[in-house]
Amino acid sequence: MEYFHHEVRDGVLHCENVPVENIARKLGTPTYVYSRRILERHFALLRDAFDQVETLVCYSVKSLPNLAVCQVLREMGAGFDVVSGGELFRALQAGAHPRKIVFAGVGKSAEDIEYALDSRILMFNVESEPELRKIDLLARMKGVRADVALRINPDVDPHTHRHITTGKKETKFGIDLLAAERLARETPSLAGVRLIGVHAHIGSQITETAPYTEALEKTLEFAGRCRDAGNPVEWVNIGGGFGIDYVKDEALPASSYAEVLQPLISRAGYRLAIEPGRFIVGNAGILLTSVLYVKETGDRRFVILDAGMNDLLRPALYGARHAIWPARCDVEMGSAEAEAVCTPADIVGPVCETADCFARDLPFPPVREGDLLAIFSAGAYGMAMASNYNGRPRPAEVLVSGDYFDVIRMRETWDDLIRGERKVARWD
C-alpha cells in the first residue's frame, strides 16, 4: 500500500526503506522528511517526457531551497530558476552551472542584478520596462551584455487558487503584450542587453493542459515578433506550475504537458526551458509531527500537534488541504475499515491564531498523546515558507536515500531565534 508515493508496510509508514518513526525517535518532531528516490524520479519523469525538443529543466529553488536537494537535482543535470540574490547564492553553493540559471522576480535589486551579471547566468527573466533599463545600465557599466528574456503576462486563467495565479493581467507579474512588443523593437539597439528568450509563468498547482497551450501559443507568437524585430531569440520558457496530488488524484503525468507543448515548440524551432518546483519535490516530502494533546470540548475533538502554521503555512494561507494520517495505523487511509473507526477531528497547531488549523472536521482515527502523524505532500512550499512565529524554532530536515537518512538541516535552537538581535543600552 502507498500513500502519496510513500510505502506502508504492516501499517507502518516508510520513507523509502526507513520507518519514519525511526527518524522521529532520533530527531524529534516536527521534522520534514524528503525521499531522494521520489524527487529524483519526478525530475526524471519531466526530463524524459520532454525528449523531443532541447529542454532545460530549471528547478524552482523557492519550492524547497535546501542545499542538499539542489545538489541532488544538479547532479541529475538540473538547471535552476531563482528569484533573488539569496537563491542565486544558494544554487551556486549547490554547484549549479551558472549557464543553467534563470533569474525571475518583479523586484530585482541592483545588488541582485550585479551579482547575477558577475555570475554570468544564462538569462534574466525581465518583468518590467524599468527593470530592463536597470539591467541595461548596470551591464553597460560593467562592460558586458546581459542575456535576457521578456516575461510576458499572457492573460491566461490557469484555474488554480487566486493567490497562486500569476498569468492574469490583473497580477503584478510579467509585461503586457503591447508594452513587451514596444520593448522588443527597442532591444536590438540597447548595448547592455541581448534579447534571447521569451518567458511566461501562469501560476502554480495547475492540473490541466489547456492553459499551457493557450499561454504557449501567445508566447510563440510574441517570440516570432521579437525575432522579426531583429532579436536573436532562441529560448521559450513556459515556467513551472505542474500540479501534484494533495488529497485526491488530480495530477497529470509529465507526458500530458510534454504532449501539448513539444509539438508547438519544435515546429517553431526554439529551445525550451521549464521551471518546475512542486512537481519535483511536492510529493517527495512529508512533515512528521507528534500529537501534543487531544482536547475534547462540547462536540469537538481537537488534535493538537507540535507542528503549526509557522512550519507549514499552506493550509492557513490558501486553505490548502494536505492528507494527514498516523505513521502507524492498522487501518488504511480512505478505506471502509478506516471509516468505521474514524470520527471528526480538527487537526490544529499550537500557534496563537485561529487559522493555525490543518484540517477541520476531518474523519480521523483515535489518537493519543505522543502519537506520530504524517502530513503528506509537504515537500513544496513547506519548509520554504516556514517562520519563527510564536518563538518557534524551524524544523529539522532529513533526506532519506534507501536504507539511510541524512540530516540536511539541523533543527533550530532557541539561540537561533535571537541570533543577530541586540539589546539596547540602558537609558537611565
Size of the site for ligand LLP (CB under 6 A): 20
- Examine residue 242 and tell whether it contacts ligand LLP (CB under 6 A): yes
302 C-beta neighbours (distance < 10 Å), count? 15
**Binding positions for ligand LLP, 57-76, rule CB under 6 A:** 60, 63
Q: How far is the C-alpha of 319 from the C-alpha of 152, rounded, in Å?
A: 29
Instruction: From 129-137, 234-242, 249-257, 323-331, give the range in contact with ligand LLP by CB under 6 A.
Output: 234-242
- Examine residue 204 and tell whether it contacts ligand LLP (CB under 6 A): yes
Cβ nearer to ligand LLP, comparing 14 with 100: 100
**Binding positions for ligand LLP, 309-368, rule CB under 6 A:** 314
Q: How far is the C-alpha of 293 from the C-alpha of 349, rounded, in Å?
A: 10
- Examine residue 153 and tell whether it contacts ligand LLP (CB under 6 A): no
Cβ nearer to ligand LLP, comparing 218 with 314: 314
As to burial, measured by CB atoms within 10 angstroms (0-12 exposed, 13-18 middle, 19+ buried), residue 414 is exposed
* Nearest one of 206, 109, 118 to 157, comparing CA atoms: 206
Tell me if the bond preceding 344 is cis, omega within 30° of 0: no
- Examine residue 165 and tell whether it contacts ligand LLP (CB under 6 A): no
- Examine residue 164 and tell whether it contacts ligand LLP (CB under 6 A): yes
Q: How far is the C-alpha of 58 from the C-alpha of 148, rounded, in Å?
A: 16
Cβ nearer to ligand LLP, comparing 302 with 318: 318
Q: How far is the C-alpha of 279 from the C-alpha of 42, rounded, in Å?
A: 7
Cβ nearer to ligand LLP, comparing 294 with 317: 317
Cβ nearer to ligand LLP, comparing 154 with 239: 239
Strand partners, 305: 291
Strand, coil or helix: 237 = strand
Instruction: List C-alpha distances in Å: 357 to 163, 316, 350.
Output: 19, 7, 9
- Examine residue 392 and tell whether it contacts ligand LLP (CB under 6 A): no
Least Å from the CB of residue 406 to ligand LLP: 24
- Examine residue 277 and tell whether it contacts ligand LLP (CB under 6 A): yes
Least Å from the CB of residue 104 to ligand LLP: 4
Cβ nearer to ligand LLP, comparing 59 with 405: 59
Cβ nearer to ligand LLP, comparing 242 with 376: 242
Least Å from the CB of residue 101 to ligand LLP: 13
* Nearest one of 75, 74, 45, 42 to 61, comparing CA atoms: 74
**Binding positions for ligand LLP, 96-115, rule CB under 6 A:** 104
Q: How far is the C-alpha of 86 from the C-alpha of 92, rounded, in Å?
A: 10
**Residue 15 falls in the annotated catalytic set:** no
Amino acid at 187: T
Report whether 384 contacts 17 (CB < 8 A). no
Residue 275 grid cell: 521551471
Query: What is the DSSP annotation of 316-354?
Result: HHH-----EEESB-SS-TTSHHHHHH-EEEEEE-SSSST
Least Å from the CB of residue 102 to ligand LLP: 9
Least Å from the CB of residue 314 to ligand LLP: 5
Q: To which residue does cell 541581448 refer?
A: 194
* Nearest one of 289, 358, 364 to 334, comparing CA atoms: 364
- Examine residue 278 and tell whether it contacts ligand LLP (CB under 6 A): yes
Cβ nearer to ligand LLP, comparing 74 with 151: 151
Residue 178 grid cell: 503591447
Instruction: Determine which residue in the list 65, 85, 174, 240 makes contact with ligand LLP, applying CB under 6 A.
Output: 240
- Examine residue 201 and tell whether it contacts ligand LLP (CB under 6 A): yes
318 phi-psi bin (left φ>0, alpha ψ -120 to 50, beta other)? alpha
Q: Which of 15, 70, 329, 352 is catalytic?
A: 352
- Examine residue 239 and tell whether it contacts ligand LLP (CB under 6 A): yes
Instruction: From 8-16, 216-224, 235-243, 297-305, give the range in contact with ligand LLP by CB under 6 A.
Output: 235-243
Residues that bind ligand LLP (CB under 6 A): 60, 63, 81, 104, 164, 201, 204-205, 239-242, 275-279, 314, 380-381
Catalytic center residues: 352
